[in-house]
Structure 1
Amino acid sequence: MNAKQAAGQPALQQTLSTFQLWGIAVGLVISGEYFGWSYGWASAGTLGFTITALFIAAMYTTFIFSFTELTTSIPHAGGPFAYSKRAFGPTGGYLAGAATLIEFVFAPPAIALAIGAYLNVQFPEINPKLAAVGAYAVFMTLNIVGVQVAATFELLMALLAIFELLVFMGVVAPGFSITNFTKGGWSGQDVFTTAAIPGMFAAIPFAIWFFLAIEGVAMAAEEAKDPRRSIPIAYITGIITLVLLAIGVMAFAGGAGDWTKLANINDPLPQAMKMIVGEHSGWLHMLVWLGLFGLIASFHGIILGYSRQIYALAREAYLPPALAKIHPRFKTPHRAILAGGAVGIAAIFSDELIKIGGQTLTANIVTMSVFGAITMYILSMLSLFKLRRAEPDMVRPFRAPFYPVFPAIALAGAVVCLVTMIYYNPLVFCLFAAFLAAGYVYFLATKDSRALHAAPTTTPIEGV
């Protein structure tokens, strides 16, 4: 029993099933199949981006198999924050927690803008930014109402999104041409040359977008009925599902026609289908509407993720403790949900701040989120290695297979991604570093407060 439960205060409830956790794992990510990734075609071409995407898929697969060991050993709402704090102390916890927070707070505004873009296809008079704000209002409310309601809705949206992606592949399949996919596929060239390599590296953030945020399942660990059993199943089946969908969506979209028309837009799937069925087809209108399910699934799921990260950090005074309040009726961290939403909405309207480096607003928000994710991946794998050495007797319900090879592959891949992203996105990285530095000043200034509010990060769940 945790401290809050012992004191009779509201606490997170353990209600989530394995199937719901799988829905969260897939739902968190599945918007990445709908948009964001196609920006990688602009720099790498279809073939170059395929190489990049396969590299990232290998990194994520080995990462998830390794990360699952940490999640089941330390089932905590803070996820990576808790792992790094246990391995490297308060500073390590701060870095992992802040990086994860940046990832999960900056991903939703990019998805919200895509929701606005999809609605604008059907209703041109709708302002995409105002639609994005409306999405925040609706799904923050749904997350506040209760985790069981939120997780069930997330599962439904994930299933509908998968169905819709399969429909997309089926509808465009008759018009698929491998010639379309390969034409100019090496950064505008039909034949591979060394000039294509820089573009492949520059496309890394958009390949990561295919899988970004799957690790958010870790933040639901305190609300899982049986985290030691259900989390490994959810993670492993989730990453398999997403890899297969990513390959299918990318291949069929690129083979539908002139892929260069899809490389810098927020709605590549409807536009790819339009090449096959025409602008007035009922299939196209169905795709636009059903496409919202995938965007909503990720948007809704990441709100759940960022709220638990804010809650966990505030619970231990890494953020203002007032953000750790649990709603007395709904048993959800309502203040954390609202706080993360406020930052996301501000990002939507921060064109002059985030629209830098010649990239679109969405592309830079995606890149900012990916910087947070990659930093967290590195710290998590380092934590795994450290805890294996420092705490060999820790109870590990799931152990990373092929240790130390799998975590080493994940760590090396993440380091390559981080170095590459810094090289190609120096301005966004400077902004990312500025956020970390500002947070570190707060971290140092609140040291005494943390000593008073500190809660255990090792056994937050009764019986674990």
Structure 2
Amino acid sequence: MSDSNSAMGYDSVAQEYLQKRQLKQGAAGWILLAGLGVSYVISGDFAGWNFGLAQGGFGGMLIATVIMGIMYTCMVLSLAELSSSLPTAGGGYSYARRALGRTGGFLTGTAILLEYAIAPAAIAVFIGGYCNELFGWDGASVYAAFYVIFIGIHLFGAGEALKIMLVITSIAALAIIAFILGMIPHFEVANLMDISVDASAVGASAFLPQGYIGIWAAIPFAMWLFLAVEGVPLAAEEATDPGKDLPRGIITAMVILLVFGGLVLVLAPGGSSAELMKNHAAPLVGALQAVYGENSMVATFVNLVGLAGLIASFFSIIYAYSRQVFALSRAGYLPRFLSLTGKRKVPTLALIIPGILGFLLSLTGEGDLMITMAVFGATLSYALMTLSHIILRVKEPDLERPYKTPGGVFTSGIACVLAVIAFISTFLVSREAAMWSAVFYGIMVAYFFLYSRHHLVAQAPEEEFEAIANAEKELS
């Protein structure tokens, strides 16, 4: 490595460095990738979204969901292009690195890491609640068991883990289909409007019981119906044909999630009661129990299989955080030992160490707080990723793009603006979550500016482009 590159903050590494940091190529085709995208999100159909009814009533939650559905659809179409053009395990971080430089890339990767490292801890708390209701099990032993079992499966191999994930996700999807078929005959519009109206709120009505502000406040909960689908590109280096499989996989997942999310939002309160649903811990089960009785077969089935939905998201987001840690570590942004892979081509320590931290967080039992922190990180990353799409379209028009986003920068521009709005909305839900997110960011940014930006790895896929550009400048 030249002195110039050293001055730019790059360290020279031997070829052996990357040989010890390889993922298993060809482990996932587009069907597994689509299953991964649905798996990330499907727990949100079973619980969490309904708290938006308390914030904005059915009308507020419906409008917020439409807005977030547009944002996620536009973002997914943008990421489909970026993932086919820059297929690395860094996902959104690698796109921002190319478009926004080292600092922008790191801030994006850190936001994604905040989302994916904390979300499994929140889901573990919800899994504990389900296990307590179904089997009388709860607490630290349940959280530990799920972390150990599912990290263990991931350590066995990416292909095997993704296939198991697809099976669990299919079971959860079957429960949602059973719920939809069971609730359609009982739908009544009046059930959607039975939340009491706050007459002091501007624009308050039966449709918007909390007024216009309720739409804004419901946005983070509307996101829960789609949150984490953007993680599909993290499987880029394990895809069979990244240029074709990644766009097809993430777009298919988004279509399925739009259908599931829309039907669940309308049928759960519409078939039972919006008032009943707004604070229910298990809204799909509660809606079925209200219609068919507490011990009915369909309610019991969805209750049991609802656990599979939580497990699917827990399982898949473990995969996501490990690949994000792997990519940031391989490039030197995080300690390099975290990106080492074993014989099975999985990043062992990138799975285990964040898992230990997540388990410790789950012991707090603050699932709602952790969800809001995850949303905080997610919305920030969305704004930066879609901005990266716009910048790369302008700066690198000749970049090979096997898939091109319909609408181009107009599509990514819509997603970027809506992501900023969603980011601001998180402050309405929990300032405490924003504070803890800021603490996390402060620690990570301090590490970057004080150490890691001076010791990046030029041979890493996300850094190679700039290293080549620097060499060309020297020659010219």
- The alignment's TM-score, normalised by the length of structure 2, stands at 0.89
Alignment root-mean-square deviation, CA:
2.2
Change (3 A) 1:286 1:459: farther
Residues 76 and 458 in structure 1, CA contact (< 8 A), matched pair in contact too: no
Is 1:11 matched with 2:22? yes
Q: How does 1:11-410 map to 2 (within 5 A)?
A: 11-14=22-25, 15-123=27-135, 125-184=136-195, 191-192=206-207, 195-328=210-343, 330-350=344-364, 361-410=366-415
Which ranges of structure 2 fall in alignment gaps of 5 or more residues? 1-12, 466-476
Q: Which amino acid aligns with 1:130?
A: S
How far apart, in 2, do the equivalents of 1:306 and 1:409 lie? 27
Look up the SS of the partner of 2:397 in the other structure. coil
How far apart, in 2, do the equivalents of 1:102 and 1:273 lie? 35
How many residues matched?
448
Change (3 A) 1:319 1:185: farther
Deviations along 1:239-282, one digit per CA (max 9) or x if unpaired, are: 11100100111111102323323322431111111111211222
Residues 74 and 412 in structure 2, CA contact (< 8 A), matched pair in contact too: yes
Which ranges of structure 1 fall in alignment gaps of 5 or more residues? 352-360
Identity %: 33
Q: Which amino acid aligns with 2:113?
A: L
How far apart, in 2, do the equivalents of 1:423 and 1:185 lie? 21
Q: Which amino acid aligns with 2:172?
A: A
Look up the SS of the partner of 1:191 in the other structure. coil
How far apart, in 1, do the equivalents of 2:58 and 2:36 lie? 29
Change (3 A) 1:243 1:129: farther
How far apart, in 2, do the equivalents of 1:396 and 1:5 lie? 31
How far apart, in 2, do the equivalents of 1:231 and 1:79 lie? 11
Q: Which amino acid aligns with 2:413?
A: A
Change (3 A) 1:8 1:67: closer
How far apart, in 1, do the equivalents of 2:130 and 2:454 lie? 45
Look up the SS of the partner of 1:196 in the other structure. coil
Q: Which amino acid aligns with 1:347?
A: L
Structure with bigger gyration radius: 2
- The alignment's TM-score, normalised by the length of structure 1, stands at 0.91
Is 1:438 matched with 2:458? no
Q: Which amino acid aligns with 1:256?
A: G
How far apart, in 2, do the equivalents of 1:3 and 1:57 lie? 46
Match of 2:456 in 1: 451
Shift of 1:13: 1.0
Q: Which amino acid aligns with 2:356?
A: A
How far apart, in 1, do the equivalents of 2:459 and 2:322 lie? 19
Q: Which amino acid aligns with 1:35?
A: A
How far apart, in 1, do the equivalents of 2:433 and 2:122 lie? 15
Q: Which amino acid aligns with 1:106?
A: I
How far apart, in 2, do the equivalents of 1:206 and 1:457 lie? 33
How far apart, in 1, do the equivalents of 2:322 and 2:457 lie? 22
Shift of 1:387: 1.3
